[in-house]
Amino acid sequence: MVGLEQSCHALRNKQDETSLEAVEEVIALAQDILRRLRRNMPTDQSLLKYYANIDNYLSWFTEQRLLSLVAHLPRNGDYKTTKSLLLEICDIERQHREAQQYNSSHTTEALSRISNKMRLLRRLIEYPVTLKEKTRELGGGEQKLLKAGVTAVVMTSVSLAAYEVRETLGGISLMVIFALALLYALRELFKDDLRNTLWRWLRKGRPKWRRQYFDVHSNQLVGRQLEWFDYRRASRLSEEILAARHANVSQREEVVMHYGSHSRMLPTRFLSGYEQTRETLQLDLSLLSKLMEKGSHHVYQLKEGQVARQAVEKRYLINLITREIQGQKPPVIQRWKVVMSRSKIVEIEEIPRRRNSTADKNT
């Protein structure tokens, strides 16, 4: 649908350079798109309504684009031949919609009704697939094993230490009781710290969540997603991220938060004809605003001979850098500067990359 629209626009822009070969190429593209759709008509009754909506709209959309092309064709020697080819395809699609009884005669006779119906169909077919999501936090079993291992090691060490204390101080006495109490206190003090330290080291650089997506109709697995979230030092960032970050001066209070997502979808499993999926990432900065301090100060300004005092709220600067990798294509890196206070987002500005960056030099 997008390819057909782009081809029609390009063909109209050529004007006098339009040839019969170019028109035949557009017709072949339109017929190929329709043929691929109708060749994979679903057998499941629950999917037939989606197919009917898509087929109805795509047929009408093709006819409209070809009629628009006819209206803008130059009146040269090949005009009649080109016009007859385009109108022939439009007539075939009109007969197809009538044979399938997609639209009533009352709807087709009124241009406003058919136009509004097709606009509604377009909104309905933009998101025809509903996926069921199953989220699992990774590392649950490892955390239990680590907790058991740390507890075993600490209890063994405390038991050996208690045995040595008893052998050194003799029988049960007040000194032995105090020594045992000190050992158990040290155990409770270092057990959690040791477990947390080992847990951070074990999970370092590994994904924290795994999401699985299933088709709600067939309950078939159609995609997986791994997510990372951790804090990183600026020195551990890659060179391309540092180049996009434009860090000319050291930021003493800077905190680097890293979020990563790796998705692998199989669109052909949930509906034939789909070749790719689109992933949208939404960031909720309200969670970060709760961590910001409430701070304000006053600024004095001279206006028309009078001194005015204005309250200025404390603001924070967030450097948002995204790196998108799709298949074997080179990574796309973008940077935004987000200025926000505790109460609202003040400004969002996209910062273009410098030409002399490290990535450009490597290119």
**Domain final residue pick, 128, 161, 192:** 128
pLDDT at 361: 34
Q: Do 118 and 6 share a structural domain?
A: yes
pLDDT at residue 357, as a whole number:
43
How far apart are the C-alpha atoms of 188 and 356, rounded to whole Å?
A: 55
Domain boundary among 202, 232, 252: 202
In a domain, 306, yes or no: yes
Do 6 and 122 belong to one domain?
Answer: yes
Which structural domain, as residue segments, surrounds residue 296? Answer: 241-362
pLDDT value of position 360: 37
Q: Which of 200, 202, 210 is nearest to 231 (CA)?
A: 200
Q: Could you tell me if 123 and 27 lie in one domain? A: yes
Report yes or no on 323 lying in a domain.
yes
Same domain, 352 and 252: yes
96 is a domain residue? yes
Report, as ranges of residue numbers, the positions in the chain whose pLDDT lies below 70: 1-19, 77, 126-130, 165-166, 169-177, 180, 247-253, 268-275, 354-363
> Which pLDDT belongs to residue 15?
45
Q: How many domains does the chain have?
A: 3
- Going by the DSSP 8-state scheme, the letter that residue 73 receives in this structure is -
According to the model, what pLDDT value does residue 227 have? 92
Angle between helices 79-100 and 45-72 (to 10 degrees): 160
pLDDT in the model for residue 252 = 63
Tokens standing for residue 35: 């043929």
278 belongs to a structural domain: yes
The reply to whether 113 and 143 lie within a common domain is no
* Inside any domain, residue 224: no
| C-alpha span between 241 and 72 (Å, rounded) | 48
- Asked if the structure places residue 172 within a domain, the reply is yes
The pLDDT of residue 185? 76
- Assess whether 247 and 358 both reside in one domain: yes
pLDDT of residue 226: 92
Q: Are residues 124 and 143 in the same domain?
A: no
Six token digits for residue 147: 């907790």
* Judgement on whether residues 343 and 310 belong to the same structural domain of the protein: yes
* pLDDT of res. 180: 67
Q: pLDDT value at position 190?
A: 75
197/280 same-domain check? no
Select from 82, 105, 128 the last residue of a domain. 128
Q: Does 229 map to a domain? A: no
Amino acid 279: pLDDT: 80
User: What is the distance between the alpha carbons of residues 228 and 260, in angstroms, rounded to a whole number?
Assistant: 5
Any domain includes 316: yes
